[in-house]
Amino acid sequence: MALLKPAKHQTAYLKLGLQGFEGSGKTYLACQFAMGISELMQNKKVAYFDTEKGSDFWVSKFQEKGIQLDTLRSRSFVDLLNVIREAEANKYEFLIIDSITHVWRDLGRAYQKKKNRDSLSMKDWMVLKTEWSQFTDLYVNSKVHIAMCGRAGYEYDFEENEDGKKEITKSGTKMKAEGETGFEPDLLIETFKVSRAELLTDKKAKKNSKGFINRCCVIKDRSDLMNAKIIDQPKFEHFLPIVKFLNLGGSHAGPSAVQGSESLFQAPERSYAEQLKRKEIALEEIKEALVLAELDGSSAETKKKRIELLVKIFGTSSWTAISDMRLDPLQGCLDQMRIELNQKKAPEGSPIIMQLSAEEDVPL
């Protein structure tokens, strides 16, 4: 079965990530996208997974545009998984998750309560990350446009100061959720509050200026149409080039395994480590078969017979070439060599002692 096929555009639904500190405009921009895309696609059904009661302040605005807005107030990880499935099954055009930070914290708290833990070990975090992957798989693959809002948090690093001492410094920002969540969106935007005074050059005007505006920076854009763009007072219209770049109305497919890797561990004989082990055994058994056939000697006649046998069975007398063979053909050649030498394989689990056939006491 051929795995590789001609490439085609299979991203029909926007996977949007919005991260920022409080009051920076995450919810506003998520709702702008929801209204804009639902109108563009003429499917005025929007779902809202609300962890902060922010949907209350948008009910009238959605009603004014004739858009159906259905909500669930919850912070439960299980509820979120079910809402994504329900939104797809009931053909909602857009889903807002606001905010994913609460959901990640809920999952952690639930695990700690179940395990009666005050702190989590690396093993615990790996369990949580595995559970979290249920969300990321649904987020990427679901046939629904999704805006995932998350609180911003600082990333820290160590930096050497003038005295040669290490100091902790802020090295950037990231979404407050499972560490790799920010990698999932196709469009990741960070939102900010910017003082109006910062926008002015006149000192007097700057001094008298009050309030702030919202600003955003495109951190990641897989279409590469707006990467690193900074936009003041952003609205849906600013991002139309990215939305129209999608395969809107077409097929949508995220990453999916043709054959799951779990089978390697469910059937150990299929794992790479097990195959290497079995290959080592097969190579040792080839040498043992030659010993039993008295073809391991150094005399010219013995060498000649050994070379003829190896070339006949393996197509080469080079031990390096034989060692490089894949397990299946190597095992097949070993079985063929045993037939040629009238040797039988010892039963599974017994010591490796080759038995000669009853017809002949001496091979060859």
Residue 350: the pLDDT is 38
Same-domain status, 237 and 288: no
pLDDT 10s digits, 290-309: 999 999 888 999 999 999 99
Residue 204 has pLDDT above 90, yes or no: no
Same-domain status, 238 and 291: no
Same-domain status, 222 and 151: yes
Q: Could you give the number of structural domains in the chain?
A: 2
CA distance 74 to 98: 10
The CATH number covering residue 74 comes to 3.40.50.300
Is there a contact between 179 and 153 (Cβ–Cβ < 8 Å)? Answer: no
Q: How far is CA 357 from CA 152, 202, 338, in A?
A: 76, 103, 11
Same-domain status, 159 and 286: no
Whether the pTM exceeds 0.85: the reply is: no
CA distance 147 to 185: 9
Handedness of CA 143, 190, 105, 180 (dihedral sign): positive
Is 250 part of any domain? no
Range of the domain at 146: 15-245
Same-domain status, 214 and 269: no
Question: Among the three residues 217, 245, 273, which one is the final residue of a domain in this structure?
Answer: 245
Same-domain status, 203 and 150: yes
* pLDDT tier for residue 44 given thresholds of 50, 70 and 90: very high
Is 42 part of any domain? yes
Residue 268: the pLDDT is 54
Question: Among the three residues 214, 245, 276, which one is the final residue of a domain in this structure?
Answer: 245
Is 361 part of any domain? no
Residue 356: the pLDDT is 32
Residue 77: the pLDDT is 96
| Span 202-221, average pLDDT | 84
Residue 260: the pLDDT is 61
pLDDT 10s digits, 120-163: 888 888 889 999 999 999 999 999 999 999 999 887 766 776 77
Same-domain status, 215 and 352: no
Residue 36: the pLDDT is 97
Question: Among the three residues 245, 276, 301, which one is the final residue of a domain in this structure?
Answer: 245
Is 255 part of any domain? no
Express as a percent the part of the chain with pLDDT over 90: 64
Same-domain status, 92 and 216: yes
Least confident range of 70-84, 134-148, 191-205, 248-262: 248-262
Is 259 part of any domain? no
Same-domain status, 215 and 349: no
Same-domain status, 301 and 230: no
| Span 113-125, average pLDDT | 87
Residue 171 has pLDDT above 50, yes or no: yes
* pLDDT tier for residue 173 given thresholds of 50, 70 and 90: confident
Residue 158: the pLDDT is 65
Is 364 part of any domain? no
Is 258 part of any domain? no
Same-domain status, 48 and 196: yes
Residue 1: the pLDDT is 62
Is 254 part of any domain? no
Least confident range of 2-16, 58-72, 198-212, 223-237: 198-212
User: Across all residues in the chain, what is the average pLDDT?
Assistant: 86
pLDDT 10s digits, 247-275: 999 989 877 655 666 655 555 555 677 77
Same-domain status, 200 and 270: no
